[in-house]
Amino acid sequence: MRYEPDTPYTGLKAKPVISYDQQEPGEFSKAFFKFFNYIGVAFLILSSAFFAYEIANYGVTIGAIIMAGMAAIPIVYAVVAYPNIGIIILLMFAYFIMFALRIIKGAAPLGTLMDGLILLLVFGFFVKQKYEKNKNIKIAEINPNHCLVFIFDIPGG
């Protein structure tokens, strides 16, 4: 359709939501905006000073542990609360586990970490089943191509 400035646009039946103030804020927004006061700013300043002190005294190792902890908490929540995201995270970790073993010198128990992730995923399925009361558990549709992959993937004698 060609734009003609003399004719007004009449295709939109309702008024669009342009501002975020007109929408109901989500749970994350409500939790995030609780830090916009003096107590929240003081908490963030004290926690950043504490982390800076720990990194200055104990080196980069404690900084890496703090960053891993900050990444692990949302990952664990996503695996337990949303099993579909948990499967995706499990597959991503499975592909990058050998890369991580090359970077980390020594024997790191990354296989045990994967087992713990599977345990969290199973726990998430049980929690979801308890609260949704769904007797028909269907994670994905069965595709005939998947059956062929399983048949040809069986190792020979």
Residues 6+ apart with CB under 8 A from 123: 80
Question: Does the pLDDT value for residue 110 go beyond 50?
Answer: yes
Supply 123's token pair. Answer: 């726990």
Q: Which of 15-24, 50-59, 144-153 has the highest mean pLDDT?
A: 50-59
Residue 145 is assigned to a structural domain of this protein:
no
Residue 22 is assigned to a structural domain of this protein:
no
Q: In percent, how much of the chain has pLDDT > 90?
A: 7
How many separate domains does the chain show? 1
Q: How many Å is the Cα radius of gyration of the chain?
A: 25
Q: In percent, how much of the chain has pLDDT > 70?
A: 62
Residue 3 is assigned to a structural domain of this protein:
no
What is the model's pTM?
0.56
Kindly state the DSSP code that residue 12 receives in the 8-state scheme: -
Residue 67 is assigned to a structural domain of this protein:
yes
Residue 11 is assigned to a structural domain of this protein:
no
What is the extent of the structural domain holding 106?
44-129
Q: Which tens digits make up the pLDDT trace of 89-107?
A: 888 888 888 787 777 777 6
Residue 9 is assigned to a structural domain of this protein:
no
> How sure is the predictor about 81, in pLDDT bands with cuts at 50, 70 and 90?
confident
Residue 92 is assigned to a structural domain of this protein:
yes
Between 11 and 130, the more confident residue is 130
Residue 77 is assigned to a structural domain of this protein:
yes
pLDDT of residue 28: 64
Question: Does the pLDDT value for residue 154 go beyond 90?
Answer: no
Q: What is d(CA 33, CA 85) in angstroms, rounded to the nearest whole number?
A: 26
